[in-house]
Structure 1
Amino acid sequence: MISLKCLLYLAPIAALSACVGAEYEPMQFTSDGSDIVARGAIDAGTLERFLDIVERHPDAKTLVLEMVEGSVDDEANLIFSREVRKRGFTTVVPSQGLIASGGTDLFLAGVTRQISPGACVGVHSWGGDVEGRDVPRSDPIHQEYLSYYDVMGTPRAFYWFTLDAAGADEMHWMSAAEVSRFGMTTAPASGLASAAVCDAR
């Protein structure tokens, strides 16, 4: 499936085709036995790599999203994220961490979710011939993500917020107040990084 959200700043999104051909670093996992640390973009091979490290570190129940800038495959991202929820993982964004686009959707899969002070949380609209914000809300194209947010217990209002917050070739870096507004964490978030810091990270 062609990604609607695609990668963020690895290649600005002018069209869906620009996302498909973008160079990116596939998500890789490391573990110290208690935590699993993720870095890179979510693609069709992410779930297999995740299941491999889970098998090797069965006691690890925290997924640390150190630098997850997005996905190149929406369907793979949602399947992977549902597996994270199914296995009862906690998701954490560390103080120097960054999640955005599909990475933010992955974060929501945690049964418990923590964003540390200084972290970056980015959202934007999907794009292509038209942008998500310009597609009528009644259009079925929105349903896949709305259904995902339903499963994760995230209000549907968050989806519409992401579409309006920034264009497909831009990024909106969320404030702690916005994170709280949509109940994204299970512990209060405070002191998130500024837009200038996140843009440079």
Structure 2
Amino acid sequence: MTHKFLSIAACLTLLTSCAEQYTPVNFVAQGDRIVATGTIDDTTLAAFQEVTADNPEIHTLVLQYIEGSVDDDANVVFSREVHRAGFDTIVPSGGMVASGGTDLFLAGVQRTLQPGACVGVHSWAGSGIVATDLPEDDPEHDRYLDYFQDIGVDEGFYWYTLEAAPADSIHWMTAAEANQFRMTTRTTPRLGSSTVCDER
């Protein structure tokens, strides 16, 4: 089931057509880091396993531009593997994660948001279901709650994302919000503004 696909700016109102045009995540080893760009789908885990098998000494994943996922189940399976493998995650200055990309960032053992990074969150909807219409004990939430428990992130972050913006919109987090939810393993000094992030 697909819930949290995000395409930035104009695509927010055209989710179906934009989902058909997405570019799957591409991984490139650069020095002591693996750089990731694209949208998470059911091919992402295999691509990640291939690049890590070729570069077993690298344990830092740079999320240059991860706009979300077209398959939430694939996203949590892949993100759990990133966590299990002991990777650190970084969103660089000028980089962007949103929706499922933000969930992926949280899989890092050590997590860094560099100044000016964009971090987007929103609620989810799909198959006639709207997350905010469900009671908190509905099993539809378990996919995300179980994932956050597995990677050691407080479930309060999940409930926050549902209220931050509806599924067809986006909320760009502030540094204060990132620090409130302990998204990083070091203090976040400044994140990208909504004006800047909407253009990425």
The answer for the alignment partner of 1:138 in structure 2 is 137
Task: Kindly indicate whether residue 12 of structure 2 is the aligned counterpart of residue 12 of structure 1.
Answer: yes
TM-score, normalising length from structure 2? 0.94
After TM superposition, give the deviation of residue 12 of structure 1 in Å: 2.6
Over 3 Å counting, the alpha-carbon distance change for 1:19 and 1:130 in structure 2 is farther
* Residue pairs, 1:45-194, within 5 angstroms: 45-128=43-126, 129-194=128-193
Which 10-residue stretch deviates more, 4-13 or 175-184? 4-13
Partner of 1:23: 21
State the alpha-carbon separation in 2 of the partners of residues 79 and 21 from structure 1: 20
- The alpha-carbon deviation at position 13 of structure 1 amounts to 5.8
Change (3 A) 1:66 1:20: closer
Deviations 1:108-134 (A, max 9, x none): 110110000000000000013242112
Mark the CA change 1:39 to 1:153 in structure 2 (over 3 Å): closer, same or farther. Answer: same
1:39 maps to 37
Runs (4+) of structure 1 exceeding 6 A deviation are: none
SS in 2 for 1:55: helix
- Distance change >3 Å, CA 36–CA 76, structure 1 → 2: same
Amino acid at match of 2:99: S
Q: Secondary structure at the match of 1:141?
A: helix
Q: Supply the distance in 2 between the matched residues of 1:23 and 1:183 (Cα, whole angstroms).
A: 34
What is the CA deviation profile of residues 8-53 of structure 1, one whole-angstrom value per residue up to 9, with x for unaligned ones?
32733678xx379531010000012410000000000001111111
Give the structure with the higher percent strand. Answer: 2
Aligned alpha-carbon RMSD (Å): 1.6
Mapped contact 1:3–1:19 kept (Cα < 8 A): no
Checking the alignment, whether the CA contact within 8 Å between 1:11 and 1:22 is kept in structure 2 is no
**Distance (whole Å) between structure 2 residues aligned to residue 40 and residue 178 of structure 1:** 25
Unaligned runs of 5+ in 1: none
Identical pairs, percent: 49
Q: TM-score, normalised by structure 1?
A: 0.94
Q: Deviations over 1:51-93 (max 9, x none)?
A: 1111111111100000000001111111110110111000000
The equivalent of 2:195 in structure 1 is: 196
Gaps of 5+ in 2: none
* Count of aligned residue pairs for this structure pair: 198
The residue type equivalent to 1:73 in the other structure is D
How many angstroms apart in 1 are the aligned matches of 2:124 and 2:101?
Answer: 14
Q: Which amino acid aligns with 1:26?
A: P
